[in-house]
Amino acid sequence: MQRPAVAEQATRRAQSTSTIEIDCKGPCTPRISQDAFEAMTNILLVDDNDIQAMTRKAVLSRSGKQVMVANSAPVALEMLGDPGFSSQLSLVITDHIMPGMHGPEFVQNLRAVLPTVPVLVLSGLPDAMDAYEGLDIVFRLKPLAPEELIRLANELPQTAMGRTA
CATH code, domain carrying 127? 3.40.50.2300
Question: What confidence tier does 24 reach under pLDDT thresholds 50, 70, 90?
Answer: very low
> Is 61 inside a domain boundary?
yes
Residue 69 lies in a domain: yes
- Is 23 among the domain residues? no
The answer to whether position 14 is within a domain reads: no
Q: Is a pLDDT exceeding 70 seen at residue 161?
A: no
**What pLDDT is stored for residue 15 in this prediction?**
41
Domain that holds residue 146: 33-160
Q: Is residue 144 part of a domain?
A: yes
Integer CA distances (angstroms), 23 to 18, 31, 38, in order: 16, 8, 21
Looking at the 3D structure of the chain, how many domains does it have?
Answer: 1
pLDDT recorded at residue 127:
95
Segment 63-84 mean pLDDT? 96
Please state which of the ranges 11-15, 44-48, 81-85, 117-121 shows the lowest mean pLDDT.
Answer: 11-15
Cβ neighbors of 128 (< 8 A, separation 6 or more) are: 96, 97, 103, 121, 139
Contact (Cβ atoms closer than 8 angstroms) between residue 43 and residue 93: yes
Res 159: pLDDT: 81
